[in-house]
Each structure stands twice: as C-alpha cells, then as structure tokens.
Amino acid sequence: MEETVRLPLAWAPIWAPIGLLIGGAASRCWVEVGPGEVSAAFGPLAAARFPRAVVRAARAIPWPWWRGYGIRWYGWDAAAFVGRSKGVVELTLGTEVEIRAVLRRWVCRLALSPSDPGETAGPARGARRTLVSQPRTRR
C-alpha cells in the first residue's frame, strides 16, 4: 500500500516574506499525493482536490518571473500555486477538475512549486518516485 506524501510548496527566498503576509506559510501551502487522491492548498485562498487517476502527466516546466508568484491563471485551462521559478511541476489532467483559486474555476493543468519536485511528479503519475526531467531550453 502506498503512503501519502505531503510536501510544502516552496517560495524563492526573496519572496518568502511576502508569501507569509498572504498566508503562504509552509503549513498552509502544500501538495499532497495519496494512493487515490491529489490535493493542494495555497493558504486560505486556493485549494484543489481531484482523483489521482485523472493525472495524465507530470513534468517540470519553466516558470518565467513575468508570470508572477502566488495564485496564478496562466492559460484559459490552467492555474498555478507557485512561489518560485525553479522546480515547478505541471500536472496535466485527463478531464477538467474544479479548483478554488480565489474564484472557482475548471482546469486541465495545475502548476505547483513543491519543495521536492521529484516526490510530487513521480507519485502523481502513478509511477515510482523519480525525478522529473528538466525542461529543455532553446538555444
């Protein structure tokens, strides 16, 4: 039987004080991957919970600074709970799921900045805990 993995969402050191001001303490910002469910929270303003079976892929993605940090909508079908640029994992979902990101919204992609991206991506995919491949940069 698999265990549930709970990791805090990580903040870049420069943004951590601002994160604390908006309720972004590690105890309130986390991602949890269990045998049957994935859930995430970003303080009192955002939460997501959906069956693990709907996760189709998990991969590391680049997160440019201009997208911002905190609770973000980065596409018509995507939301993010992100506190740093490095180590952001995007979960691609097979069906739309409802999340609360200030407002309720239906998404097919959810980006997170967990303290250990490999711990999140491996179990979320249903695979062994392996590190996700790093995004390739264009030259």
How far apart, in whole angstroms, are the C-alpha atoms of residue 126 and residue 5? 13
Residue 133 has pLDDT above 50, yes or no: no
Q: What is the pLDDT of residues 33-67, one digit of tens each?
A: 999 999 999 888 899 999 999 999 999 999 998 99
> Beta partners for 107?
97
State the average pLDDT over residues 72-80.
Answer: 93
Q: What is the pLDDT of residues 100-132, one digit of tens each?
A: 988 899 999 999 999 887 665 555 555 433 223
State the average pLDDT over residues 24-35.
Answer: 79
Residue spans per domain, the chain = 5-124
pLDDT for position 27: 63
How far apart, in whole angstroms, are the C-alpha atoms of residue 70 and residue 27? 15
How far apart, in whole angstroms, are the C-alpha atoms of residue 101 and residue 107? 10
- Single-letter residue type at 24: G
